[in-house]
Structure 1
Amino acid sequence: MPGKVIGISFNNGYPGTISRLGDEISRTRPLKEGSEDLYFGDPVILNTDGTFQKFGASNTAAQFAGVAMRRIKGATQYLSQSRAFYTSLEPTDVLERGGVTVNVNVGTPTIGGAIYIRIAANASIPAGVVGGFEAAADGTNTIQLTNAKWATLKDANSVAELTILTRQGV
């Protein structure tokens, strides 16, 4: 009869999960009408009309408003309930300051290291996703966030904790 043992390392959790309580500042606003779905753990911008939207190719580090948080909500699809998201006009919870887990698409985070968001595709780096978090610079294809740092190394699922040091926006 085969046995199982507890491993020597733990996963960091699911993207969008608050990882440190006590220093969490979050806000709920609607997701901009007609915008693409916003997955838990995605970077977010705050629009001038008071709505949130997924960080995209035309955005700058100064527009980074936080990370889409994993909150209790009903799944919108039956077959993919483990990767939930916010849809157009839905109330969207965003972490503005504190610790949260996110997917790391490129690079290996170091504790206290720089965080980048990809703003342009690069054919030589197929893992790079526009609007995704990365731990390595890629010239003009990524921008560095000045108000956030990596808090952990990434786990076997390429999930790491980042800490947003200061709030931007309102």
Structure 2
Amino acid sequence: MPGATIGTSFNLGYAGNVSRSQDAVIVNRLVKSNSADIAFGDPVILNSDNTYSKFGASGTAAAFAGVAAREVKQSTSYLSQATGSAYKPNEPCDVIERGSVTVVCTVGTPTAGGDVYVRVTANGSIPDGVVGGFEAAADSTNTIKLTNAKWKTGKIDANKVAEITLLTRNQP
């Protein structure tokens, strides 16, 4: 008897998961001492002192280095393991610079091969837009287009997780 599922679809995973490993380039550098905490799946920038910082309001497409990868991380403090932050200042941070990775798409619906945007300015008329969040739709000067990234499949799950592909390394 053939099996079937009715009305069921699987989640796409968690933000920061490397989704297709055959072309992944992952680089480890320290998080800058004055950076905000970097969560798995966050966009990051490469600083001139060879450190990463969380992508924020001052981020540009040229400074975009990649996406914080969900890698096995050694705990340095027993009491702080449940804080929910992935990478803190002065800690090593794994960033996928080329390849496919899952991220949270806060605004819009991705399309296969569609442009990927990152919000740099809050917009009160778009309450889901988070500064430093990935989006599938442009919002005037409030978002910037990542020139080396595309939405992979156009699928998004109930948790707003979708897959992007970083086509080329944006940084050395």
TM-score, normalised relative to structure 1:
0.91
Question: 1:72-151 alignment to 2 at 5 Å?
Answer: 72-73=72-73, 74=75, 76-78=80-82, 83-151=84-152
Give the number of equivalent residue pairs.
163
Question: 1:34-73 alignment to 2 at 5 Å?
Answer: 34-73=34-73
Rounded Cα–Cα distance in structure 1 between residues aligned with 2:65 and 2:167: 12
What SS does structure 2 have at the residue aligned with 1:48?
coil
What SS does structure 2 have at the residue aligned with 1:151?
strand
Task: Verify the 8 A CA contact 2:37 2:85 in the aligned structure 1.
Answer: no
**How many percent of aligned residue pairs carry the same amino acid?**
60
- 2:161 corresponds, among 146, 152, 159, to 159
What SS does structure 2 have at the residue aligned with 1:61?
coil
CA offsets per residue over residues 71-124 of structure 1, 9 Å max, x none? 11248343x5xx441001000000000000000000000010000000000000
Rounded Cα–Cα distance in structure 2 between residues aligned with 1:42 and 1:85: 10
- The residue identity in structure 2 corresponding to 1:62 is A
- Unmatched 5+ stretches in structure 1: none
Rounded Cα–Cα distance in structure 2 between residues aligned with 1:23 and 1:107: 27
CA offsets per residue over residues 16-46 of structure 1, 9 Å max, x none? 0000011000100000002110000000100
Rounded Cα–Cα distance in structure 1 between residues aligned with 2:56 and 2:122: 11
What SS does structure 1 have at the residue aligned with 2:59?
coil
What SS does structure 1 have at the residue aligned with 2:34?
coil
TM-score, normalised relative to structure 2:
0.90
- Unmatched 5+ stretches in structure 2: none
RMSD of aligned residue pairs (Cα, Å): 1.6
CA offsets per residue over residues 117-150 of structure 1, 9 Å max, x none? 0000000001000000000100000000110100
Rounded Cα–Cα distance in structure 2 between residues aligned with 1:30 and 1:117: 22
What SS does structure 1 have at the residue aligned with 2:162?
strand
